[in-house]
Protein backbone atom coordinates (compact mmCIF):
# COMPACT_ATOMS: atom_id res chain seq x y z
CA UNK A 1 0.00 0.00 0.00
CA UNK A 2 1.95 2.98 -1.28
CA UNK A 3 5.58 3.79 -0.59
CA UNK A 4 5.55 3.36 3.19
CA UNK A 5 5.80 -0.24 4.33
CA UNK A 6 7.66 0.09 7.64
CA UNK A 7 5.89 2.47 10.01
CA UNK A 8 6.94 3.63 13.47
CA UNK A 9 4.45 4.95 16.02
CA UNK A 10 5.27 7.47 18.72
CA UNK A 11 2.68 8.58 21.26
CA UNK A 12 2.48 10.84 24.25
CA UNK A 13 0.36 10.43 27.36
CA UNK A 14 -0.06 14.01 28.61
CA UNK A 15 -2.27 13.10 31.56
CA UNK A 16 -3.91 10.12 33.17
CA UNK A 17 -7.36 11.01 31.85
CA UNK A 18 -5.97 11.02 28.30
CA UNK A 19 -4.18 7.70 28.68
CA UNK A 20 -7.11 5.42 27.83
CA UNK A 21 -8.16 7.54 24.84
CA UNK A 22 -4.66 7.54 23.31
CA UNK A 23 -4.23 3.84 24.11
CA UNK A 24 -7.48 3.10 22.28
CA UNK A 25 -6.45 5.25 19.30
CA UNK A 26 -3.07 3.50 19.07
CA UNK A 27 -4.83 0.14 19.09
CA UNK A 28 -7.16 1.27 16.31
CA UNK A 29 -4.20 2.51 14.26
CA UNK A 30 -2.19 -0.67 14.83
CA UNK A 31 -5.13 -2.87 13.78
CA UNK A 32 -5.62 -0.82 10.62
CA UNK A 33 -1.92 -0.93 9.68
CA UNK A 34 -1.68 -4.68 10.30
CA UNK A 35 -4.70 -5.36 8.10
CA UNK A 36 -2.98 -3.46 5.31
CA UNK A 37 0.25 -5.47 5.69
CA UNK A 38 2.49 -2.80 7.15
CA UNK A 39 5.43 -3.66 9.38
CA UNK A 40 4.84 -1.74 12.63
CA UNK A 41 7.27 -0.56 15.28
CA UNK A 42 6.45 1.37 18.43
CA UNK A 43 8.79 3.72 20.24
CA UNK A 44 9.97 2.13 23.49
CA UNK A 45 8.72 4.79 25.94
CA UNK A 46 5.35 4.81 24.21
CA UNK A 47 5.20 1.04 24.52
CA UNK A 48 5.98 1.23 28.25
CA UNK A 49 2.68 3.03 28.69
CA UNK A 50 0.64 1.55 25.85
CA UNK A 51 1.65 -2.13 26.28
CA UNK A 52 0.43 -3.04 22.81
CA UNK A 53 0.62 -6.74 22.00
CA UNK A 54 2.41 -8.07 18.96
CA UNK A 55 4.28 -4.83 18.13
CA UNK A 56 8.06 -4.60 18.19
CA UNK A 57 9.44 -1.90 20.49
CA UNK A 58 12.46 0.20 19.48
CA UNK A 59 14.23 3.22 20.98
CA UNK A 60 13.55 6.64 19.50
CA UNK A 61 17.13 7.04 18.30
CA UNK A 62 16.89 3.70 16.44
CA UNK A 63 13.74 4.58 14.46
CA UNK A 64 15.76 5.56 11.42
CA UNK A 65 17.16 2.04 11.06
CA UNK A 66 13.70 0.46 10.78
CA UNK A 67 11.03 2.87 9.56
CA UNK A 68 10.34 4.84 6.40
CA UNK A 69 7.47 6.81 7.99
CA UNK A 70 6.83 7.97 11.56
CA UNK A 71 3.29 8.63 12.80
CA UNK A 72 3.20 10.79 15.94
CA UNK A 73 0.15 10.92 18.21
CA UNK A 74 0.65 13.86 20.53
CA UNK A 75 1.19 17.60 20.32
CA UNK A 76 3.75 19.86 18.72
CA UNK A 77 6.25 19.20 21.51
CA UNK A 78 6.25 15.50 20.68
CA UNK A 79 6.68 16.31 16.99
CA UNK A 80 9.67 18.55 17.73
CA UNK A 81 11.50 15.87 19.70
CA UNK A 82 10.86 13.20 17.09
CA UNK A 83 11.87 15.51 14.23
CA UNK A 84 15.30 16.19 15.76
CA UNK A 85 15.81 12.44 16.26
CA UNK A 86 15.11 11.43 12.65
CA UNK A 87 16.51 14.42 10.78
CA UNK A 88 19.67 12.70 9.54
CA UNK A 89 17.63 9.94 7.84
CA UNK A 90 15.10 12.35 6.27
CA UNK A 91 12.15 10.17 7.33
CA UNK A 92 8.80 11.97 6.85
CA UNK A 93 6.46 12.59 9.77
CA UNK A 94 2.69 12.52 10.12
CA UNK A 95 1.32 14.35 13.16
CA UNK A 96 -1.99 13.45 14.81
CA UNK A 97 -2.94 16.16 17.26
CA UNK A 98 -3.53 15.35 20.90
CA UNK A 99 -2.23 18.71 22.09
CA UNK A 100 -3.85 22.13 22.36
CA UNK A 101 -2.68 23.92 19.22
CA UNK A 102 -1.30 21.43 16.73
CA UNK A 103 0.55 23.69 14.28
CA UNK A 104 2.79 20.71 13.45
CA UNK A 105 0.66 17.77 14.59
CA UNK A 106 -2.26 19.00 12.55
CA UNK A 107 -4.42 15.94 11.85
CA UNK A 108 -7.54 15.57 13.97
CA UNK A 109 -7.46 12.41 16.06
CA UNK A 110 -11.17 11.80 15.38
CA UNK A 111 -10.56 11.56 11.60
CA UNK A 112 -7.23 9.82 12.02
CA UNK A 113 -7.88 6.68 9.94
CA UNK A 114 -9.34 8.55 6.98
CA UNK A 115 -6.34 10.87 6.76
CA UNK A 116 -3.76 8.14 7.38
CA UNK A 117 -5.34 6.03 4.63
CA UNK A 118 -5.09 8.90 2.13
CA UNK A 119 -1.46 9.54 3.02
CA UNK A 120 -0.50 5.86 2.80
CA UNK A 121 -2.12 5.70 -0.64
CA UNK A 122 0.14 8.52 -1.78
CA UNK A 123 -2.56 11.19 -1.67
CA UNK A 124 -0.59 13.76 0.33
CA UNK A 125 1.30 17.04 0.27
CA UNK A 126 4.95 16.98 1.38
CA UNK A 127 5.81 20.01 3.47
CA UNK A 128 9.57 20.47 3.83
CA UNK A 129 10.60 22.59 6.80
CA UNK A 130 14.00 24.19 7.32
CA UNK A 131 16.04 23.53 10.45
CA UNK A 132 18.55 25.66 12.30
CA UNK A 133 22.01 24.43 13.24
CA UNK A 134 23.14 25.99 16.53
CA UNK A 135 26.78 25.83 17.67
CA UNK A 136 28.03 27.15 20.99
CA UNK A 137 31.65 28.31 20.80
CA UNK A 138 33.65 28.77 23.99
CA UNK A 139 37.27 29.96 23.82
CA UNK A 140 37.29 29.20 20.06
CA UNK A 141 36.21 25.58 20.57
CA UNK A 142 32.75 24.14 19.85
CA UNK A 143 31.34 22.76 23.08
CA UNK A 144 27.76 22.02 21.99
CA UNK A 145 25.65 21.77 18.85
CA UNK A 146 22.06 20.91 18.05
CA UNK A 147 19.36 21.11 15.41
CA UNK A 148 16.25 23.21 16.04
CA UNK A 149 12.99 22.93 14.13
CA UNK A 150 11.29 25.80 15.98
CA UNK A 151 13.83 28.11 17.54
CA UNK A 152 17.11 28.78 19.30
CA UNK A 153 16.54 31.02 22.33
CA UNK A 154 19.19 32.82 24.36
CA UNK A 155 17.54 33.76 27.62
CA UNK A 156 18.14 34.81 31.19
CA UNK A 157 16.22 33.16 34.00
CA UNK A 158 16.94 35.99 36.47
CA UNK A 159 17.60 39.45 34.97
CA UNK A 160 18.30 41.35 31.79
CA UNK A 161 21.25 40.11 29.77
CA UNK A 162 23.36 42.18 27.40
CA UNK A 163 24.29 40.73 24.02
CA UNK A 164 25.46 41.68 20.56
CA UNK A 165 23.99 40.40 17.29
CA UNK A 166 25.97 39.96 14.07
CA UNK A 167 24.56 38.89 10.70
CA UNK A 168 27.01 37.69 8.05
CA UNK A 169 29.83 39.12 10.20
CA UNK A 170 28.20 42.58 10.19
CA UNK A 171 27.37 44.19 13.52
CA UNK A 172 23.61 44.72 13.90
CA UNK A 173 23.11 45.99 17.43
CA UNK A 174 23.78 45.59 21.12
CA UNK A 175 20.71 45.01 23.26
CA UNK A 176 19.70 44.60 26.85
CA UNK A 177 16.68 42.33 27.16
CA UNK A 178 15.33 39.15 28.69
CA UNK A 179 16.83 37.35 25.71
CA UNK A 180 16.53 36.80 21.98
CA UNK A 181 14.75 34.24 19.78
CA UNK A 182 16.17 33.04 16.47
CA UNK A 183 13.33 31.25 14.73
CA UNK A 184 12.53 29.24 11.62
CA UNK A 185 9.23 29.90 9.81
CA UNK A 186 7.93 26.81 11.64
CA UNK A 187 8.77 28.41 14.99
CA UNK A 188 7.22 31.72 13.98
CA UNK A 189 3.89 30.54 15.46
CA UNK A 190 5.55 29.40 18.70
CA UNK A 191 7.55 31.45 21.24
CA UNK A 192 8.49 34.05 18.63
CA UNK A 193 4.82 34.87 18.04
CA UNK A 194 4.17 35.47 21.73
CA UNK A 195 7.21 37.79 21.84
CA UNK A 196 5.78 39.91 19.01
CA UNK A 197 7.57 38.34 16.07
CA UNK A 198 6.17 38.07 12.53
CA UNK A 199 4.29 35.05 11.18
CA UNK A 200 6.39 33.57 8.36
CA UNK A 201 4.88 31.16 5.86
CA UNK A 202 6.62 27.75 6.20
CA UNK A 203 7.71 27.83 2.54
CA UNK A 204 9.82 30.96 3.09
CA UNK A 205 13.58 30.59 3.19
CA UNK A 206 13.93 33.02 6.07
CA UNK A 207 14.96 33.34 9.71
CA UNK A 208 13.44 35.77 12.21
CA UNK A 209 15.33 37.38 15.07
CA UNK A 210 13.01 38.50 17.87
CA UNK A 211 14.07 40.29 21.10
CA UNK A 212 12.33 39.25 24.32
CA UNK A 213 11.21 42.30 26.33
CA UNK A 214 14.01 44.61 25.10
CA UNK A 215 15.01 47.47 27.38
CA UNK A 216 14.84 49.84 24.39
CA UNK A 217 11.42 49.87 22.76
CA UNK A 218 12.89 50.74 19.35
CA UNK A 219 14.53 47.31 19.26
CA UNK A 220 12.25 45.39 16.86
CA UNK A 221 12.07 41.92 15.31
CA UNK A 222 13.73 41.46 11.94
CA UNK A 223 13.64 38.71 9.29
CA UNK A 224 16.68 37.81 7.21
CA UNK A 225 17.48 35.51 4.31
CA UNK A 226 17.64 31.85 5.27
CA UNK A 227 21.26 31.61 4.13
CA UNK A 228 22.35 34.20 6.67
CA UNK A 229 24.90 33.40 9.35
CA UNK A 230 23.89 34.77 12.76
CA UNK A 231 26.16 35.25 15.76
CA UNK A 232 25.07 36.18 19.26
CA UNK A 233 27.82 37.29 21.64
CA UNK A 234 27.23 37.46 25.36
CA UNK A 235 28.40 40.79 26.82
CA UNK A 236 26.93 40.65 30.31
CA UNK A 237 24.87 38.09 32.20
CA UNK A 238 24.07 36.91 35.69
CA UNK A 239 22.54 33.65 34.55
CA UNK A 240 21.66 32.63 31.00
CA UNK A 241 21.16 29.59 28.81
CA UNK A 242 20.41 28.47 25.28
CA UNK A 243 17.08 26.72 24.77
CA UNK A 244 16.56 24.45 21.74
CA UNK A 245 12.89 24.12 20.75
CA UNK A 246 11.97 24.76 24.39
CA UNK A 247 13.15 21.22 25.20
CA UNK A 248 16.93 21.34 25.64
CA UNK A 249 18.79 23.79 27.89
CA UNK A 250 22.51 24.53 27.81
CA UNK A 251 24.05 26.98 30.34
CA UNK A 252 26.09 29.91 29.04
CA UNK A 253 28.93 32.04 30.34
CA UNK A 254 30.67 35.22 29.19
CA UNK A 255 33.09 33.38 26.89
CA UNK A 256 30.32 32.03 24.71
CA UNK A 257 29.35 32.86 21.14
CA UNK A 258 26.19 31.26 19.71
CA UNK A 259 26.44 30.66 15.97
CA UNK A 260 23.18 29.93 14.14
CA UNK A 261 22.57 29.10 10.50
CA UNK A 262 20.25 27.07 8.34
CA UNK A 263 21.00 23.36 8.35
CA UNK A 264 21.52 21.41 5.14
CA UNK A 265 18.90 18.93 6.39
CA UNK A 266 15.17 19.50 6.29
CA UNK A 267 12.19 17.85 7.99
CA UNK A 268 9.31 16.53 5.87
CA UNK A 269 5.78 16.66 7.28
CA UNK A 270 3.02 14.97 5.30
CA UNK A 271 -0.48 16.47 5.06
CA UNK A 272 -3.66 15.39 3.28
CA UNK A 273 -4.05 17.11 -0.10
CA UNK A 274 -6.82 19.39 1.20
CA UNK A 275 -4.49 20.88 3.83
CA UNK A 276 -4.41 24.69 3.84
CA UNK A 277 -1.90 26.57 5.99
CA UNK A 278 -4.08 29.67 6.17
CA UNK A 279 -7.12 27.68 7.25
CA UNK A 280 -4.98 26.14 10.00
CA UNK A 281 -3.85 29.60 11.14
CA UNK A 282 -7.42 30.88 11.09
CA UNK A 283 -8.62 28.00 13.25
CA UNK A 284 -5.70 27.91 15.69
CA UNK A 285 -5.46 31.67 16.21
CA UNK A 286 -9.25 32.22 16.17
CA UNK A 287 -9.18 34.71 13.34
CA UNK A 288 -12.50 35.87 11.92
Digit-coded pLDDT (tens) for 104-140: 988 888 889 999 999 999 999 999 999 999 999 999 9
Average pLDDT over residues 178-187: 97
Per-residue pLDDT tens over the stretch 29-56: 999 999 999 999 999 988 888 888 889 9
Residue 115's SS3 state is helix
Q: What stretch(es) of the chain map to CATH 3.40.50.10330? A: 6-122
In terms of residues, how long is the chain? 288
In the chain, residues under CATH classification 2.60.200.30 are 131-265
Rg of the chain on CA atoms, in Å: 20
> How far is C-alpha 167 from the chain's CA centre?
24
Q: Which residues of 261-272 are buried (b: 16+ CB within 10 A; e: fewer)?
A: bbbeeebbbbbb
- 135 in Cβ contact with 258 (< 8 Å): yes
Question: For residue 109, what are the contacts with CB-CB under 8 A and spacing of at least 6?
Answer: 25, 73, 96, 97, 98
- Where in the sequence numbering do the catalytic residues fall? 76
Report helix, strand or coil for 229: coil
Which CATH code for domain 6-122?
3.40.50.10330
CATH fold label, 131-265: Tumour Suppressor Smad4 (2.60.200)
- Furthest-apart CA pair in the chain: how many Å? 61
Amino acid sequence: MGQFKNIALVGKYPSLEDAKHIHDQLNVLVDYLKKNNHQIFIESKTQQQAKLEGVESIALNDLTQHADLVIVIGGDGTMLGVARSVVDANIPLVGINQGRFGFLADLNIDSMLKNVELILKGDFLEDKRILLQADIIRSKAKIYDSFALNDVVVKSSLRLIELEVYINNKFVHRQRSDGIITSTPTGATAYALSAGGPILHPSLDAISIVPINPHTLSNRPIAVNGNSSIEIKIIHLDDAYVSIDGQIKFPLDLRDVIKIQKSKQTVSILHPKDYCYFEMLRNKLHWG
